[in-house]
Amino acid sequence: MKTLLKIVGGLAGVLVLVAACGYLYLMFSYPSVPPPRTDVTFDTSPERLARGKYLNDHVVGCTTCHTQRDWTKFAGPVKTELLGAGGDKFTRAPGSDLYAKNITPAAIGSWTDGELLRAVTQGVSKDGTPLFPLMPYPHYGALAEDDIHAVLAYIRSLKAIESIVPERTLGFPLNLVVRTIPSANTFGTRPSPSDTLAYGRYMTKAARCTDCHTPIDDQGTPLPGMEFAGGMAFIETGYRTRSANITPDVDTGIGSWTEQQFVDKFKGFEKPTNATLSEPERPQNTPMPMLAYAGMTRQDLAAIYAYLRTIKPIINRVEKFPDAR
Chain residues binding ligand HEC by CB under 6 A are 60-62, 65-66, 90, 98, 100-101, 103, 108, 116, 119-120, 125, 129, 131-132, 134-136, 140, 151-152, 155, 168, 207-209, 211-213, 234, 241, 243-244, 246, 254, 265, 286-288, 293, 304, 320
Those residues whose C-beta lies under 8 Å from the C-beta of residue 109, and which sit 6 or more positions away, are 160
- The least distance separating ligand HEC from the CB of residue 43, rounded to whole angstroms, comes to 16
- The least distance separating ligand HEC from the CB of residue 116, rounded to whole angstroms, comes to 6
Nearest partner of 147 among 234, 1, 25, 48, judged by Cα? 48
- The least distance separating ligand HEC from the CB of residue 6, rounded to whole angstroms, comes to 45
- The least distance separating ligand HEC from the CB of residue 283, rounded to whole angstroms, comes to 11
38 versus 261: smaller Cβ distance to ligand HEC: 261
The answer to whether 313 touches 273, Cβ cutoff 8 Å, is no
CA distance 23 to 180: 12
CA distance 146 to 189: 9
- The least distance separating ligand HEC from the CB of residue 139, rounded to whole angstroms, comes to 9
The answer to whether 222 touches 92, Cβ cutoff 8 Å, is no
State which amino acid sits at residue 291.
Answer: L
4 versus 128: smaller Cβ distance to ligand HEC: 128
- The least distance separating ligand HEC from the CB of residue 206, rounded to whole angstroms, comes to 9
Nearest partner of 74 among 244, 322, 287, judged by Cα? 287
61 versus 215: smaller Cβ distance to ligand HEC: 61
192 versus 289: smaller Cβ distance to ligand HEC: 289
The answer to whether 62 touches 155, Cβ cutoff 8 Å, is yes
Nearest partner of 115 among 30, 29, 34, judged by Cα? 34
277 versus 288: smaller Cβ distance to ligand HEC: 288
Nearest partner of 65 among 103, 115, 21, judged by Cα? 103
81 versus 319: smaller Cβ distance to ligand HEC: 319
CA distance 207 to 10: 53
49 versus 207: smaller Cβ distance to ligand HEC: 207
CA distance 191 to 300: 12
- The least distance separating ligand HEC from the CB of residue 99, rounded to whole angstroms, comes to 6
Residue 63, phi-psi category: left (phi > 0), alpha (psi -120 to 50), beta (remainder): alpha
- The least distance separating ligand HEC from the CB of residue 131, rounded to whole angstroms, comes to 4
85 versus 246: smaller Cβ distance to ligand HEC: 246
